[in-house]
Structure 1
């Protein structure tokens, strides 16, 4: 068949594919296909164009025009990004971080494995896949960056390693530090990294809900056990197989190859399922991105995939846990966040009303001591509006004594005030930690002006905290979004009970006195 005949056949296939889908969903297919590829390292081929490789689409004006004719103006803009993502303008290098959220860290989870993938004109090559501990051990003697004090104090290390690099709850900031440490430890292609992608095991679990189970070297992987099985193999299983410590994470490559194979088998058939799952994972911060290239970062920001700490002049809460020395115990921890506001009238006419906020996390440790579960040990920080003033802390140390306010660390970062302590929860225990603080003047003035806005952000890698609000402004609530249940309308307290699967925004209008 001549090339012209192939192009004509491909064009017909594209039109038939698009006609089977609602026009509003076409952009999902096109952009989402790119998304699936980057996560699974597929050597991408657009199933709609059958035997053509990606360069046949990008370089062929007739095919491009055929696709564009089926898309509206806004959707066509996405096509302009595809050449950038897949290295047609220039080769792209991606650094994938496998962040284990059963060992939660501020930026998503302990970086146990990393991969480097290059893309050049649609052709992908996996340059490196290895355990981050292997890279850490290669660190040169003259490279000794000082770690944050909690890492040094509670992990007993004097050097900041690549695997601990995601200390910031803002993924962009964590990615920049990870890249710095990666280069300092001699990581391959360190000067060429264009995009950093963070992935938690939750991504694997939900993808396997679609692919189904599979077996590798006699090990059965399911969506329910995949995280535990991989952890066991890299922590203990390698010994029974006579493998060296440096090779203990070699199971990752055949696992990813098997996962890719299963996705490849049913991607076209179950495309919508993959699209929905991956975009949900991104919005739930299990799949996060940072690019050093402004064009790609703009795309990441526009689709809400950057997992950054949001700048705001309104009220704000972000609770951040860092598992320091507690194995993989986060798998056994259930969390519920509670936020309250109460009015404190001025004691003198020359003063203004004050508003006290209390942010409380309740932890339930549902595990028992085993190879991956221990006492839960977390360095906890709560990020709140800048200029908030700590009033007190309520919580108990491991020995049962109350934590004193003088034991609370504090600082300013990312345009926020933060307070932090080291906290322990025993197996079977329910335990709470509360920070009580005075909200800054600008938020008090908003309430006096009868408006209140709150953003509660979820930490990268967390699953589904409970979230409860009890906001007593001392004023009648006129309207609210989200709305309260009807039986709570018309009083002075805003009540909410839900979850923190996603970032949550609240907008409340108060009745003038």
Structure 2
């Protein structure tokens, strides 16, 4: 990995085919060796070896094996992506997730990244307002953009309104073509999280033109200060700063040790997994691989056959307050699923906490258009918001989109406030099911947050993946559930009063797939 990075950023020509075919063989050997070491270590651990227990506590073999497997899958497809025969130019969207948008963040700047014969030959960064200023004619925006952002026209900067990244990427390409007469070979989105992760590996970067040191701790503050203070449409200040930062990161990458370069490769994989980086390329073979790995940012609509029901749940927030208040916002979600013979009732509670100081005024207010993504056959949809004991019934906007329903509503969380947004919906079952699958989608640009899932059923489960904990469910009035009875490996012997309830708590850093068998 380190050798590949050095060649891409270097000045010397090299054969991408020779280098990458050699990497493929080495990776296969490393994977086999790692698997053998893991097998021996696990076997030794079963004999109560202290050394084996220590190794297993320090090394996550599965993580490294998965990293190697993913690299093997994409290595043979990289030569064409890196311009082995014809140069390739990619449209890079810099999405500021301190102003959250459906595919990661507000598009304040963009870059054109060109590879020629395996080398990075050009990387030019521009301000999005310079491009938007070149648009001729009127483009009708989605209704929420017009209604809540107050924009009568649709621009490149707001083109990422669809949470499905391939859809938004195509729209962004369309705007680039119309505004700048530029055609590209694909689109890549990047938010601030990977840059912060990089700085933790590389250490601080000094920008001599700005007499400024940037590290993982002050990145958000410095970027915010430079790209927003004294900003006006048409200025080159933002693009100049981001160009200097990007050049410094590339220079720093070239000087990293082999171990650090491997760490950079891992952080790229992690951020692809966690949807802080998304990829949509015109190379169909490569893009199919991105889709299989879940790195294309698409909204996956699950399906299953037989006596099975598959479910989709996704939260999409779009900051329409024209500020960077997401720096102060944290969230937690609770998904409650009640399965009966003929119906599934679901409740999603999203808790938004805004820790901004009241002194910030409107800059600290979080105004967001929140959408719930659910299956197209969902019924009995309603929503409400609450602060403490005060509850307001909402009138959500419900639309159909690509085989799913989107339930949208505007929410405002003032500085220092905590607000809950609750969605209710159901689905009718036309047949008896013996398997229930649920896909919980993580939004691009959002850091990991607590998600608590409960599944209730009158019938006990035969199994679940991941493993849900069974608790004694008791719905009698004024009676608290007995949480002392637990069963990690259902089925359990004794029937429980009032049915069965299973719990799973996690930090949602990537999509969650759960399966239940009856």
* Contact 1:96/1:196, CA 8 A, preserved across alignment: yes
Equivalent position SS for 1:402: strand
Moved more, 362-371 or 96-105: 362-371
* Contact 2:371/2:407, CA 8 A, preserved across alignment: yes
Residue 480 of structure 2 is aligned to residue 488 of structure 1: no
Give CA-to-partner distance per residue, 1:405-442, whole Å, 9 cap, x none.
xx210011132112110111111111111111112436
- Looking at structure 1, the residues matched to 385 and 21 of structure 2 have their Cα atoms a distance apart, in angstroms, of 63
Cα offset, 1:69, TM superposition: 5.5
Distance 1:70 1:374, change over 3 A: closer
Cα offset, 1:267, TM superposition: 4.5
Residue 492 of structure 2 is aligned to residue 498 of structure 1: no
- Looking at structure 2, the residues matched to 394 and 77 of structure 1 have their Cα atoms a distance apart, in angstroms, of 45
- Looking at structure 2, the residues matched to 488 and 163 of structure 1 have their Cα atoms a distance apart, in angstroms, of 50
Cα offset, 1:124, TM superposition: 2.6
Cα offset, 1:484, TM superposition: 2.7
- What does 1:260-339 correspond to in 2, within 5 Å? 260-313=250-303, 314-339=310-335
- Looking at structure 2, the residues matched to 455 and 174 of structure 1 have their Cα atoms a distance apart, in angstroms, of 21
Residue 93 of structure 2 is aligned to residue 100 of structure 1: no
TM-score normalised by the chain length of structure 2: 0.79
Equivalent position SS for 1:185: helix
Residue 217 of structure 2 is aligned to residue 233 of structure 1: no
- Looking at structure 1, the residues matched to 279 and 349 of structure 2 have their Cα atoms a distance apart, in angstroms, of 29
Distance 1:119 1:66, change over 3 A: closer
Alignment partner, residue 462 of structure 1: 446
- Looking at structure 2, the residues matched to 473 and 114 of structure 1 have their Cα atoms a distance apart, in angstroms, of 49
Structure 2 residue corresponding to 1:423, chosen from 405, 411, 415: 411
- Looking at structure 2, the residues matched to 289 and 66 of structure 1 have their Cα atoms a distance apart, in angstroms, of 25
Structure 1 vs Structure 2 CA RMSD = 2.7
Residue 232 of structure 2 is aligned to residue 247 of structure 1: no
- Looking at structure 2, the residues matched to 439 and 474 of structure 1 have their Cα atoms a distance apart, in angstroms, of 17
Cα offset, 1:250, TM superposition: 1.2
Moved more, 101-110 or 66-75: 66-75
Residue 162 of structure 2 is aligned to residue 168 of structure 1: yes
- What does 1:111-510 correspond to in 2, within 5 Å? 111-126=107-122, 128-140=124-136, 142=137, 144-187=138-181, 190-191=182-183, 193-216=184-207, 217-236=210-229, 245-313=235-303, 314-343=310-339, 353-368=342-357, 369-370=359-360, 373-396=363-386, 402-404=392-394, 407-441=395-429, 445=431, 448-485=432-469, 487-489=485-487, 490=492, 492-510=500-518
TM-score normalised by the chain length of structure 1: 0.80
* Contact 2:384/2:391, CA 8 A, preserved across alignment: no
- Looking at structure 1, the residues matched to 122 and 339 of structure 2 have their Cα atoms a distance apart, in angstroms, of 57
Distance 1:232 1:169, change over 3 A: same
- Looking at structure 2, the residues matched to 288 and 365 of structure 1 have their Cα atoms a distance apart, in angstroms, of 27
* Contact 2:338/2:344, CA 8 A, preserved across alignment: yes
* Contact 2:101/2:317, CA 8 A, preserved across alignment: yes
Equivalent position SS for 2:173: helix
- Looking at structure 1, the residues matched to 401 and 248 of structure 2 have their Cα atoms a distance apart, in angstroms, of 42
- Looking at structure 2, the residues matched to 98 and 208 of structure 1 have their Cα atoms a distance apart, in angstroms, of 17
Which structure features the higher share of strand residues?
A: 2
Structure 1 residue corresponding to 2:106, chosen from 101, 104, 110: 110
Give CA-to-partner distance per residue, 1:20-61, whole Å, 9 cap, x none.
xxxxxxxxx3xx876x68xxxx8434xxxxx95334x54x6x
- Looking at structure 2, the residues matched to 64 and 334 of structure 1 have their Cα atoms a distance apart, in angstroms, of 42
* Contact 2:9/2:250, CA 8 A, preserved across alignment: no
Count matched residues.
444
Distance 1:214 1:390, change over 3 A: same
List alignment gaps of at least 5 residues for structure 2: 30-68, 304-309, 471-484
Distance 1:237 1:479, change over 3 A: same
Equivalent position SS for 1:307: coil
* Contact 1:386/1:440, CA 8 A, preserved across alignment: no
* Contact 2:335/2:347, CA 8 A, preserved across alignment: yes
Distance 1:375 1:64, change over 3 A: closer
- Looking at structure 2, the residues matched to 371 and 183 of structure 1 have their Cα atoms a distance apart, in angstroms, of 38
Cα offset, 1:205, TM superposition: 0.3
Distance 1:43 1:79, change over 3 A: closer
List structure 1 runs of 4+ shifted beyond 4 angstroms. Answer: 63-79
Moved more, 467-476 or 314-323: 467-476
Distance 1:365 1:181, change over 3 A: same
Cα offset, 1:371, TM superposition: 8.4
Equivalent position SS for 2:346: strand
Cα offset, 1:64, TM superposition: 7.2
Cα offset, 1:194, TM superposition: 0.9
- Looking at structure 2, the residues matched to 160 and 124 of structure 1 have their Cα atoms a distance apart, in angstroms, of 32
- Looking at structure 2, the residues matched to 221 and 412 of structure 1 have their Cα atoms a distance apart, in angstroms, of 44
